[in-house]
């Protein structure tokens, strides 16, 4: 599933083409691509046609395109984009032939770039578009990266800020960890605690911070949490600079190009290969419905865990 770097690459790629563009036509070919939209495909087409995209915004793995015009009731709205497992937002020339697995096509007209098509393609049909109401952020800060408005879609209101967000609260994150008796990897994947991190970047950040994925979150010392946050940010930033991680053709940017961070992975997907740090073998263990990849020598489980252990380390 796309994580923060992949979604940010898509957001940044869409921005020059869609911001200021007017929707001149919408074709919803597959109702499954509107499962999160509170209305019919015909209603989605009618509500979106004639409106103007005012920006692109992202929080964690969630992407939305704010609309300049309010709803008939006067409420601000956006097109919410759930990429799911295999969703793609592609920019194509006006009149370009249909994409494989194309679900929705939005014809736009930009004052500088002319006519274009924004295509939502999705092989597995877990992704969705939806017109969603925008609501104020509790802290009055921008709802997400790429757009200054202090608004966030209702469907993403429960999602925590991500570590690359200027409004991310490090102290709040540390306080939340103290309350968690779960393994640290499970907490990193909890989008209500911190967003944007999935299986790949959780494994990479934990490897970089030398933390075992099964270490109890509440047992980590403050300095360890600070180191983890620093490594999370470093891993996400590096992946973003390299266009994200592509293992197959399902993740691509708006031009259909793959990212190449997969060549920089140190732990994820490297089971049975030498750890780049110590030379021992990276192992893979079962984790919920996925896997964890780590070095058992560099990333050892803490012998004593709990809040008392964290206090002793301060």
Give the residue numbers marked as catalytic: 2-3, 61, 290
On whether 124 is known to bind a ligand per the annotation, the reply is: yes
DSSP H helices, the chain, are 4-18, 41-48, 170-178, 184-188, 199-209, 222-241, 307-313
The C-alpha atoms of residue 121 and residue 115 are separated, in whole angstroms, by: 19
The C-alpha atoms of residue 28 and residue 34 are separated, in whole angstroms, by: 8
Contacts of 289 (CB under 8 A, 6+ apart): none
118 and 105 Cβ atoms separated by less than 8 Å: yes
On whether 270 is known to bind a ligand per the annotation, the reply is: no
On whether 180 is known to bind a ligand per the annotation, the reply is: yes
Q: For residue 126, what is the DSSP state?
A: -
Q: Which residue pairs from 292-295 have beta carbons closer than 8 angstroms and sit at least 24 positions apart in sequence?
A: 292/185, 292/203, 292/213, 292/214, 293/203, 293/207, 293/267, 293/268, 293/269, 294/203, 294/206, 294/207, 294/212, 294/213, 294/267, 295/207, 295/267
Contacts of 185 (CB under 8 A, 6+ apart): 202, 203, 206, 213, 214, 287, 292
The C-alpha atoms of residue 308 and residue 284 are separated, in whole angstroms, by: 30
CB atoms within 10 A of CB 101: 18
The C-alpha atoms of residue 295 and residue 312 are separated, in whole angstroms, by: 26
Name the region of 251 (left: φ>0; alpha: ψ -120 to 50; beta: rest): beta
Per the annotation, where are the binding residues for DNA? 101, 124, 180
Binding residues: 101, 124, 180
């Amino acid at each position: 599933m796309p994580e923060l770097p992949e979604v940010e690459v898509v957001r940044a790629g869409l921005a020059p083409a869609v911001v200021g563009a007017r929707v001149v036509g919408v074709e919803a070919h597959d109702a499954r691509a509107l499962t999160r939209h509170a209305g019919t495909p015909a209603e989605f087409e009618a509500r979106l046609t004639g409106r103007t995209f005012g920006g692109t915004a992202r929080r964690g793995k969630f992407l939305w395109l704010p609309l300049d015009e309010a709803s008939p009731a006067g409420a601000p709205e956006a097109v919410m984009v759930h990429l799911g497992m295999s969703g793609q937002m592609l920019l194509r020339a006006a009149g370009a032939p249909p994409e494989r697995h194309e679900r929705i096509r939005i014809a736009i007209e930009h004052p500088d770039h002319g006519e274009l098509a924004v295509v939502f393609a999705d092989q597995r049909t877990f992704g969705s578009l939806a017109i969603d109401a925008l609501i104020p952020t509790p802290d009055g800060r921008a709802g997400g990266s790429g757009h200054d408005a202090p608004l966030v879609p209702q469907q993403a209101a429960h999602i925590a800020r991500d570590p690359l967000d200027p409004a991310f609260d490090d102290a709040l994150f540390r306080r939340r960890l103290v309350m968690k008796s779960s393994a640290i990897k499970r907490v990193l994947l909890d989008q209500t605690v911190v967003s944007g991190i999935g299986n790949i970047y959780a494994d990479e950040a934990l490897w970089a911070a030398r933390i075992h994925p099964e270490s109890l979150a509440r047992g980590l010392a403050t300095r360890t949490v600070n180191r983890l946050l620093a490594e999370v940010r470093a891993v996400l930033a590096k992946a973003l600079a390299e266009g994200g991680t592509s293992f197959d053709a399902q993740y691509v940017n708006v031009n259909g190009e793959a990212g190449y961070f997969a060549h920089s992975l140190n732990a994820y997907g490297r089971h049975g290969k030498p750890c780049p740090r110590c030379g021992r073998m990276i192992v893979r263990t079962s984790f919920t419905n996925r896997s964890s990849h780590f070095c058992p020598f560099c990333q050892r489980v803490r012998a004593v865990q709990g809040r008392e252990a964290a206090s002793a380390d301060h």
